[in-house]
Amino acid sequence: MDRIDSSLVALRRILRATELFGREIKKTAGVTPAQFRVLQIISEHGYATATTIALRMRVTQATVTSLVDKLVREEMVEREKSTADRRQINIHITSKGVKTVTEAPDPLQQRFVRKFSAMADWEQMMLVASLERVAAMLDAEEIDASPVLDTGDFKLSESD
C-alpha cells in the first residue's frame, strides 16, 4: 500500500471511530457527543451561560443554542434567568442530566486526552502540526469545530 492509501485509510479509521462512538453514546446515554460535552461543561458548576459553553467548545452561539434546545427537550438542562443579572440566562443541569454524565461511556476524546497527555512534548507538537496540516489540506480551517470527537451536530461558521 502506498503512502496516499495508508494516509486515507488512517483518516477513514479516525472517522469510523468517531462515528461508532457517536452511535454508542447516543444508544447508551441518549445524547450526541456534542450534547454530552455541553452537559459536562454545565455539570462542572451546575450551570453555565451559552457564551461560556460557546467559548469552551469553540463553536458559534447558534450551535450552542441548538444543542441546548435539544437538551431542554430531553429535560437534561433548563434555562433560568440569572438572579444577579436578569438579562443573563443560565443553563442549569437537571438530575437527569447529571445521571447522563455519570453513567455515559468513556467519551472518545477523554481516551485521546489520556493517551495524548502520556506522549512526550515533542510528539504532541508534531502530532498537532500534522493534524493541523491535514485540516488545511482538506480546506477545513474555517469549519466550526470544538474539541469533541464527533461527526455531526456542528454548524459551519457564520462566514461559510
Residue 106 exposure: Cα atoms within 13 Å on the Cβ side: 5
Question: Any long-range contacts for 98-105 (C-beta under 8 Å, 24+ apart)?
Answer: 98/43, 100/29, 100/30, 100/31, 100/36, 100/39, 100/76, 101/36, 101/39, 101/40, 101/43, 103/28, 103/29, 104/25, 104/28, 104/29, 104/31, 104/36, 105/24, 105/25, 105/28, 105/29
Query: Which pLDDT score is estimated for 153?
Result: 47
pLDDT of 150 reads 60
Indicate whether 158 belongs to any domain: no
The answer as to whether 145 is a domain residue is no
- Whole-number pLDDT of residue 83: 83
Within-domain flag for 60 = yes
* pLDDT score recorded for residue 17: 87
Residue 144: the pLDDT is 64
In this predicted structure, what is the pLDDT of residue 157?
39
Q: Does residue 34 belong to any structural domain of this protein? A: yes
Does 132 reside within a domain? Answer: yes
Look at residue 148 and tell me if it is in a domain: no
Q: Tens digits of per-residue pLDDT, 30-76?
A: 999 889 999 999 999 999 999 999 999 888 899 999 999 999 999 99
pLDDT averaged over consecutive 10-residue blocks of the chain (160 residues)?
87 89 88 91 94 91 94 96 84 95 80 91 95 88 64 43
Residue 107's CATH number? 1.10.10.10
pLDDT confidence of residue 159: 39
| Count of domains forming the chain | 1
| Domain interval for residue 89 | 3-137
Q: Is residue 149 part of a domain?
A: no
Q: Is residue 7 part of a domain?
A: yes
* Chain centroid to CA 110: 11
The predicted pLDDT at position 145 comes to: 62
The continuous run of DSSP H or E covering 77 comes out as strand 77-81
Give the whole-angstrom CA distance, residue 56 versus residue 128.
19
